[in-house]
């Protein structure tokens, strides 16, 4: 098995574990974590990632159906 594939598997396994999820929560709920996310989302690659995961986020947040559908219909459109 290639080292990078093995490392990615280890990281994915850790992040899916309770301690990994706690670490993710602590980081993204902190001011520093949110600042890092804002910086990443300001990049072209970050915007592409946000568009790719937005449907996943919309599936798990408790929004009214018409709001979710409106966002999905307008995903990627600009004024």
The radius of gyration computed from the CA coordinates of the chain, to the nearest angstrom, equals 16
Question: Under a CB-based contact definition with an 8 Å cutoff, are residues 42 and 33 in contact?
Answer: no
What pLDDT does residue 15 have?
Answer: 94
What pLDDT does residue 67 have?
Answer: 92
* For the chain, domain boundaries: 20-73
- pLDDT per position in the chain (79 positions), as tens? 688 889 999 999 999 999 999 999 999 999 999 999 999 999 999 999 999 999 899 989 988 989 989 998 887 676 5
Closest of 79, 34, 72, 40 to residue 54, by C-alpha:
72
* pTM for this model (two decimals): 0.70
């Amino acid at each position: 098995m290639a080292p990078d594939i093995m490392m990615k598997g280890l990281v994915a396994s850790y992040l899916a574990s309770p301690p990994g999820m706690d670490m993710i929560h602590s980081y993204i709920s902190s001011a520093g974590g949110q600042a890092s996310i804002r910086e990443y989302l300001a990049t072209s690659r970050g915007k592409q990632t946000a568009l790719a995961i937005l449907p996943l986020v919309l599936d798990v947040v408790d929004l009214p159906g018409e709001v979710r559908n409106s966002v999905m219909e307008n995903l990627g459109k600009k004024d």
